[in-house]
Structure 1
Amino acid sequence: MTAEQTTPERFSYTSQRTLEASVAGVWSAWTTAESYAQWSYAAPGSVEMDVRPGGTWKATVVTPDGGQFPLTGSYSEVDENQRLVIGMDVPGKNEPAVMTVEFAEQSTHRTRVVVSQTCDTPDERDLAKQGTTMLLDSLTAFLKTAA
């Protein structure tokens, strides 16, 4: 499910998915470089994560047509098994794009993930939402094979 909201000069979206995995398993998939690299469209060997407030991350994303885009950022909030606030450096912008990922255990083997982000333009929002949907689809498939 995806929701959109528009405020003056800002454009937000929220996507959520219930996954068939424990909250600890979903957290690990999102915060362990080796696991994240397997489902996040990252080039082999490109993912580095220091998952703590102020810690940094980097990855090179490979597009379906073979293009590669290096990404960098930092973590501003880390609440294990509950919440990540992740900044992504954007060329030409003074402030990072900020994505919030919330994890909520629904039962022993079900976790709801809610991803939200506010963007500067409708096009940025639409691209970010599309990327989030692709990530959640890939995470869903990865967790089925990891179980």
Structure 2
Amino acid sequence: MEKEKITVQTTVKKNVERVWECWTDPEHITQWNFAADSWCCPKAENDLKVGGKYRARMEAKDGSFGFDFEAVYDEVAKHKKISYTMTDGRQATTTFETSGTGTLVTTVFDPENQNPLEMQQGGWQAILNNFKAYVER
């Protein structure tokens, strides 16, 4: 039996080139890669190629908690698709599709076993919503 996957998505009212740039450039990633205003992403590194590493530090602004997110790219198709494997073996794929109103960004990922599915979906969706707000500013 295959593990359940979680899907989050949003349409960003910008062209796919701009959306891709903001999704992949560390200078942009640090501006949106957190789920709540009480958090931040002080550091991001991105070697965007198959076998390359993605790293991001996420922290509570008050310094009470933080963690590192790390993954290795399995597939990179410019302006179309990014797939990676996280350090715990879970996988995620993000696709970028041009739509009439902008770019549809969809991420499908393997859930972890520590938190309820709804909480994980909510957290990843909040980050994606933050991304949308940042790019559309």
Paired AA for residue 103 in structure 2: T
**1:97 corresponds to 2:90:** yes
Confirm or deny: 8 A CA contact 1:101 1:115 kept in the other structure: yes
Q: Which residue of 1 aligns with 2:120?
A: 128
Structure 2 gap segments, 5+ residues each: 35-39
Per-residue CA deviation, residues 63-116 of structure 1 (Å, 9 max, x unaligned), is 4764110121111100000000022213xxxxx211100000114x60001110
Does the 8 Å CA contact 1:60/1:69 hold for their aligned counterparts?
Answer: yes
RMSD value over aligned CA atoms? 2.1
TM-score with structure 1 setting the length: 0.79
Q: How many residues align?
A: 131
User: Which amino acid counterpart does residue 51 of structure 2 have in structure 1?
Assistant: G
Q: Is the 8 A contact 1:49 1:58 kept in 2?
A: yes
1:57: which partner in 2? Answer: 54
- Report the Cα offset of residue 119 of structure 1: 2.7
Q: Which has the higher contact order (CA 8 A, sep 6+)?
A: 2
The one-letter code of the counterpart of 1:58 is: R
Gapped regions of structure 1 (runs ≥ 5): 1-7, 91-95
Tell me which residue corresponds to 2:7.
14
Tell me if 1:24 matches 2:24.
no
Percent identity (aligned): 24
CA distance in 1, matches of 2:117, 2:83: 17
Q: Is the 8 A contact 2:53 2:71 kept in 1?
A: yes
Q: What is the aligned partner in structure 2 of residue 110 from structure 1?
A: 102
The aligned counterpart of 2:31 is 38
